[in-house]
């Protein structure tokens, strides 16, 4: 019997089933937490291991690349090894690579550790949703999804806050060592909560090797391209051109495998179910929003308001608190509200929050984001929880692993693409706004001349004072252009959210007590 055929018929799950769900959620929390936990301590880590700022970005990128590659392969690994054995291996590997990161004394050791973390952690997220689908009866799945949703939302949002606190209170090493007790707890819960299931080693010999190679080449090269493209001036760089070619070859191999493999490693055919396809597209946008706001708000607070990493992390964490409150109530909401309405309502909340954030000024501080973070937390939780339930209800239980892999891959890919687009878009908008503001300051304008004269006197007068005054005025203009670029980013996120909102009409309601059947 495979993991996907464990019965989910009883009306109420037993204690071991709930322990399995808790284990899956704990693993997902640990994996998502480690995506962003190093963000706050990155400057300190770079200094201690002798890495430059550009090299230090690979501490985060290596984890993301590995996670994006392995996530769609999770269902194949689970079938081959058996779900319980597979998760135990992943937990042990994650622990070992976490210890490697904590003990790292150079960049090479750190990148190897982070890559290993990403490979192990990337399997823990989709399997958590699979456990909900195969271990809980349909009537109780909303509760399991709420628990999973809390961890997945809290992970990336609490990462900067927890990482900043650990670094300032103890040392950055403990941001990795903290995974040891978590992993030990996870292993115990997995042993108790998941039954022993034999794997199918025929999956190894009959594997879709074209698809697996395509996943590694296509998603790996695309993620690095998106991460490095902005710094390398995109297609002006030979490296970016080579990555684009490799990525194209990889995706061509994935498409080819859909026709030649008896069971493709990533089953794009599942997207023929319009409810699942709509969920995947909307989730790509949610990934861009989650990663994008976690990037944009701390950056604004650091560059404009002068906040440190811990203070900025506290502001971002507000959305996680409100999201947790909604998740507690989600099982009731799921019973009473059509999933199409809840997804549309959640998207509307997010869009409203982004529109409110599109009116920032150079005087804006953390308090400015309280209301918008409340809206984002509520909207993101309502949308993602509903999409998670629709995802596992859109396919039979046997396909839950493949569907959740597609869903989580969409989230990660959306985040990667969103961050790359935002970085390039912001640089362009800064330059546009900067020269627009300069053009508004006429050289013969009396007010401008008086302001320059007053600033020149502050710097001692004369030619040197006037030159310093020009530089000071340009820095003020650049600061205003930066603020305006953040406004443009939030406006772009609002437009993107509103663009995917109509897809909610294609979602299928996950009725309690039933699984949707594929057409």
Render pLDDT for 357-372 as a digit per residue (tens, 0 to 9): 999 998 898 889 989 9
For residue 487, give the nearest of 311, 358, 324, 327 by alpha carbon.
358
Cα–Cα distance measured from residue 390 to residue 503, given in angstroms and rounded to the nearest whole number: 13
Q: What is the DSSP string of 349-374?
A: HHHHHHHHHTT--TT--GGGGHHHHH
Cα–Cα distance measured from residue 276 to residue 274, given in angstroms and rounded to the nearest whole number: 5
Could you give the number of structural domains in the chain? 3
Where residue 404 sits, what CATH number does that domain have? 1.20.1250.20
Whole-angstrom CA distances from 246 to 91, 230, 241, 242 are 31, 18, 9, 6
What is residue 416's predicted lDDT score, i.e. its pLDDT? 76
State the residue for tokens 């305006």. 484
Residue 260 structure tokens: 């030649």
Cα–Cα distance measured from residue 78 to residue 433, given in angstroms and rounded to the nearest whole number: 51
Q: Do both 171 and 88 map to the same domain?
A: yes
Residue 472 structure tokens: 């000071």
Q: Do both 164 and 219 map to the same domain?
A: no
Q: Do both 250 and 328 map to the same domain?
A: no
Q: Do both 279 and 215 map to the same domain?
A: no
Q: Do both 153 and 80 map to the same domain?
A: yes
What is residue 456's predicted lDDT score, i.e. its pLDDT? 67
pTM: 0.76
Say how many residues make up the chain: 519
Any idea of the CA torsion for 423, 427, 433, 435, to the nearest 10 degrees? 180
- Which residues in the chain land under pLDDT 70? 1-11, 39-40, 53-55, 57, 309, 442-450, 452, 455-457, 459-462, 464-466, 469-470, 509-519
For 68, counting Cβ atoms within 10 Å of its Cβ (0-12 exposed, 13-18 middle, 19+ buried), the class is buried
For 202, counting Cβ atoms within 10 Å of its Cβ (0-12 exposed, 13-18 middle, 19+ buried), the class is exposed
What is residue 11's predicted lDDT score, i.e. its pLDDT? 66
Render pLDDT for 404-462 as a digit per residue (tens, 0 to 9): 778 877 887 888 788 778 877 888 888 899 888 877 776 566 666 667 677 666 766 66
Asked whether 250 and 219 are in contact (CB, 8 A), the reply is: yes
Q: Do both 196 and 288 map to the same domain?
A: no
What string of H, E and C letters represents the secondary structure of 380-402? Answer: HHHHHHHHHHHHHHCCCHHHHHH
Mark which of 188, 204, 220 sits at the end of a domain. Answer: 204
Mark which of 153, 183, 204 sits at the end of a domain. Answer: 204
What is residue 512's predicted lDDT score, i.e. its pLDDT? 46
Asked whether 506 and 274 are in contact (CB, 8 A), the reply is: yes
Q: Do both 118 and 233 map to the same domain?
A: no
Q: In angstroms, how far is CA 58 from the centroid of its own chain?
A: 16
Render pLDDT for 312-344 as a digit per residue (tens, 0 to 9): 778 877 877 777 777 778 778 878 888 889 999
Cα–Cα distance measured from residue 34 to residue 176, given in angstroms and rounded to the nearest whole number: 8
Cα–Cα distance measured from residue 410 to residue 67, given in angstroms and rounded to the nearest whole number: 12
What is residue 2's predicted lDDT score, i.e. its pLDDT? 42
What is residue 5's predicted lDDT score, i.e. its pLDDT? 41
Q: Do both 246 and 195 map to the same domain?
A: no
Q: Do both 156 and 107 map to the same domain?
A: yes
Cα–Cα distance measured from residue 128 to residue 21, given in angstroms and rounded to the nearest whole number: 7
Give the number of other Cβ atoms within 10 Å of residue 363's Cβ: 9
- Rounded to a whole number of angstroms, the distance between the first and last alpha carbons of the chain is 25
Q: What is the DSSP letter of 37?
A: T
Cα–Cα distance measured from residue 352 to residue 280, given in angstroms and rounded to the nearest whole number: 22
Q: Do both 366 and 381 map to the same domain?
A: yes
For residue 396, give the nearest of 506, 508, 516 by alpha carbon.
516
For residue 243, give the nearest of 270, 223, 215 by alpha carbon.
223
Residue 22: give the domain boundaries: 1-204
Q: Do both 61 and 152 map to the same domain?
A: yes
Helix axes of 107-135 and 74-81: crossing angle, nearest 10 degrees: 70
Q: What is the DSSP string of 291-338?
A: HHHHHHHHHHHHHTS---HHHHHHHHHHHHHHHHHHHHHHHHHHHHS-
Cα–Cα distance measured from residue 438 to residue 107, given in angstroms and rounded to the nearest whole number: 42
Q: Do both 215 and 189 map to the same domain?
A: no
Q: What is the DSSP letter of 47?
A: H
């Amino acid at each position: 019997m495979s993991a996907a055929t464990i019965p989910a018929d009883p009306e109420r799950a037993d204690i071991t089933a709930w322990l399995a769900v808790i284990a899956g959620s704990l693993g997902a929390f640990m994996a998502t937490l480690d995506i962003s936990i190093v963000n706050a301590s990155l400057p300190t880590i770079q200094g201690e291991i002798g890495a430059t700022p550009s090299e230090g970005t690979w501490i985060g990128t290596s984890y993301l690349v590995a996670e994006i590659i392995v996530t769609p392969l999770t269902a194949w690994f689970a079938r081959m090894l058996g779900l319980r054995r597979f998760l135990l291996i992943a937990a042990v590997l994650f622990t070992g690579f976490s210890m490697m990161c904590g003990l790292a004394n150079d960049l090479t050791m750190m990148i190897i550790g982070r890559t290993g973390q990403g490979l192990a952690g990337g399997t823990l997220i989709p399997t958590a949703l699979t456990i909900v689908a195969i271990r809980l009866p349909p009537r109780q799945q909303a509760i399991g999804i709420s628990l999973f949703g809390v961890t997945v939302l809290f992970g990336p949002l609490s990462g900067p806050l927890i990482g900043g606190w650990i670094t300032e209170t103890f040392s950055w090493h403990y941001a990795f060592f903290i995974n040891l007790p978590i992993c030990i707890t996870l292993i115990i819960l997995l042993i108790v909560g998941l039954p022993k299931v034999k794997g199918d080693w025929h999956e190894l010999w009959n594997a879709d090797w074209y698809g697996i190679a395509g996943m590694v080449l296509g998603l790996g090269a695309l993620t690095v391209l998106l991460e490095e493209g902005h710094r390398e001036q995109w297609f002006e760089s030979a490296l970016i051109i080579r990555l684009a070619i490799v990525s194209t070859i990889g995706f061509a191999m994935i498409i080819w495998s859909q026709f030649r493999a008896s069971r493709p490693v990533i089953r794009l055919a599942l997207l023929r179910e319009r409810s699942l396809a709509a969920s995947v597209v909307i989730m790509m946008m949610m990934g861009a929003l989650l990663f994008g706001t976690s990037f944009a708000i701390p950056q604004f607070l650091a560059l404009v308001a002068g906040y440190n990493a811990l203070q900025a992390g506290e502001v971002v964490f507000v959305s996680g608190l409100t999201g947790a409150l909604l998740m507690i109530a989600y099982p009731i909401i799921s019973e009473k509200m059509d999933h199409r309405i809840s997804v549309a309502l959640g998207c509307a909340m997010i869009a409203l929050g982004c529109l409110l954030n599109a009116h920032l000024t150079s005087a804006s501080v953390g308090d400015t984001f309280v209301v918008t973070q409340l809206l984002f937390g509520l909207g993101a939780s309502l949308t993602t929880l509903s999409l998670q339930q629709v995802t596992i209800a859109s396919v039979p239980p046997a396909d839950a692993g493949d569907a959740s892999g597609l869903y989580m891959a969409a989230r990660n890919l959306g985040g990667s693409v969103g961050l790359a687009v935002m970085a390039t878009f912001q640089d362009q908008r800064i330059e546009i706004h900067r020269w627009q503001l300069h053009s508004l300051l006429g050289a013969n304008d009396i007010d401008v001349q008086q302001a320059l004269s007053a600033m020149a006197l502050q710097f001692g007068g004369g030619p040197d004072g006037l030159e310093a005054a020009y530089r000071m005025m340009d820095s003020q203009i650049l600061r205003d252009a930066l603020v305006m670029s953040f406004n443009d980013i939030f406006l772009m996120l609002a437009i993107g959210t509103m663009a995917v909102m109509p897809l909610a009409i294609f979602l299928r309601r996950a009725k309690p007590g039933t699984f949707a059947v594929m057409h």
